[in-house]
């Protein structure tokens, strides 16, 4: 196949080549017309012949020879071959070009339609999305503990009421865990920047949502974090990744998680406390229940 026609085929099928993409039959015909010239028949040759008159019949003033007129041509009958003098190679080339146009248009339309029917690259198929959604389930924590990572055991021997932490995951709406109360400042009395409750999920998990029932009084600023180190120290806290957050919460709140981060431990980290019930100068957080959803 000539290089020029090969380039046009590439422009149709793969949208590449030495020219712009060919995306319609009209554009394809225009491109082919530039590389397959229409055949041009050469002008008829002048023919000379000697006159057929007798010597005796030639008038004295007329030469014995003359330019004979061209005999009339017969019209070509339907189905007959090309007129005499037309290059057969050009006619054959024109036929090949016409066939190529039809073939390329058909292949191009099939290819474009087939490509458009496939899922776009980088987008999950419906079945993949359904499979991912079906893998999300309720995840039961193995245990829960206070996590006063910014205070030492000497400053807080109870580790933010660790003995009450189990009531945050017992599915009983009448029992709860609460932080210690802090005076005159909702940011832990100005003593530290945060404290929390940590859940051991038993193995690494990827979260989808965390629903928490807090005390009824709003005002808590909360972050949901995941990580793999439950040591009670600031360095362990810095290794956690925040995957959701909310401010001024109270009552039941659902934290929706879009992060793909995984970790064995889920940390409910408070950076501001709501007022304690019945007090205007004391602040504490309270959790009645935690429901975790996600996948392993």
Name the band, by pLDDT with cuts 50, 70 and 90, for residue 227. Answer: very high
Same-domain check for residues 26 and 161: no
Element (H, E) at 267: strand 262-272
Same-domain check for residues 104 and 165: no
Check if the beta carbon of residue 255 is closer than 8 Å to that of residue 275. no
Whether 7 has a pLDDT exceeding 50, the answer reads yes
State pLDDT tens for residues 37-83. 665 556 565 554 444 444 444 455 555 445 445 555 555 455 544 44
Domain final residue pick, 80, 115, 150? 115
Residue-number span of the structural domain to which 273 is assigned:
137-295
Number of domains in the chain: 2
What pLDDT, on the 0 to 100 scale, is given for residue 102? 58
Name the band, by pLDDT with cuts 50, 70 and 90, for residue 6. Answer: confident
Residue 81 within any structural domain of the chain: no
Check if the beta carbon of residue 214 is closer than 8 Å to that of residue 252. yes
Same-domain check for residues 161 and 233: yes
Residue 34 within any structural domain of the chain: yes
Name the band, by pLDDT with cuts 50, 70 and 90, for residue 34. Answer: confident
Name the band, by pLDDT with cuts 50, 70 and 90, for residue 15. Answer: low
Whole-model pTM above 0.75? no
What pLDDT, on the 0 to 100 scale, is given for residue 183? 97
Whether 271 has a pLDDT exceeding 50, the answer reads yes
Distance of CA 149 to the CA centre of its chain: 41
Same-domain check for residues 172 and 208: yes
State pLDDT tens for residues 146-172. 999 999 999 999 999 999 999 999 999
Specify the CATH number for the domain of residue 186. Answer: 2.60.120.260
| Angle ∠(254,176,220) on CA atoms, nearest 5 | 50
């Amino acid at each position: 196949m000539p290089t020029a026609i090969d380039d046009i085929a590439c422009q149709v099928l793969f949208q590449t080549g030495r020219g712009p993409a060919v995306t319609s039959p009209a554009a394809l015909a225009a491109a082919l017309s530039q590389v397959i010239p229409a055949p041009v028949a050469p002008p008829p040759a002048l023919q000379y012949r000697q006159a057929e008159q007798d010597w005796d019949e030639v008038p004295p003033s007329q030469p014995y020879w003359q330019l004979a007129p061209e005999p009339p041509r017969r019209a070509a009958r339907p189905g007959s071959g090309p007129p005499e003098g037309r290059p057969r190679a050009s006619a054959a080339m024109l036929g090949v070009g016409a066939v190529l146009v039809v073939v390329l248009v058909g292949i191009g339309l099939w290819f474009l339609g087939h490509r458009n029917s496939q899922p776009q690259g980088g987008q999950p198929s419906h079945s993949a999305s359904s499979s991912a959604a079906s893998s999300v389930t309720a995840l039961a924590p193995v245990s829960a503990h206070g996590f006063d990572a910014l205070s030492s055991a000497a400053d807080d021997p109870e580790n933010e009421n660790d003995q009450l932490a189990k009531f945050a995951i017992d599915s009983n709406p009448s029992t709860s865990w609460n932080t210690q109360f802090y005076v005159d400042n909702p940011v832990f009395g100005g003593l530290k920047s945060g404290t929390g409750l940590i859940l051991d999920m038993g193995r690494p998990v990827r979260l989808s949502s965390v629903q928490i029932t807090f005390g009824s009084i709003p005002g808590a600023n909360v972050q949901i974090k995941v990580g793999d180190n439950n040591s009670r120290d600031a360095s362990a806290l810095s290794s956690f990744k925040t995957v959701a957050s909310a401010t001024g919460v109270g009552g039941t709140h659902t934290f929706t998680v879009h992060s793909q981060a995984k970790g064995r431990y889920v940390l409910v980290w408070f950076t501001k406390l709501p007022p304690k019930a019945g007090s205007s100068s004391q602040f504490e957080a309270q959790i009645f229940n935690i429901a975790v959803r996600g996948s392993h």
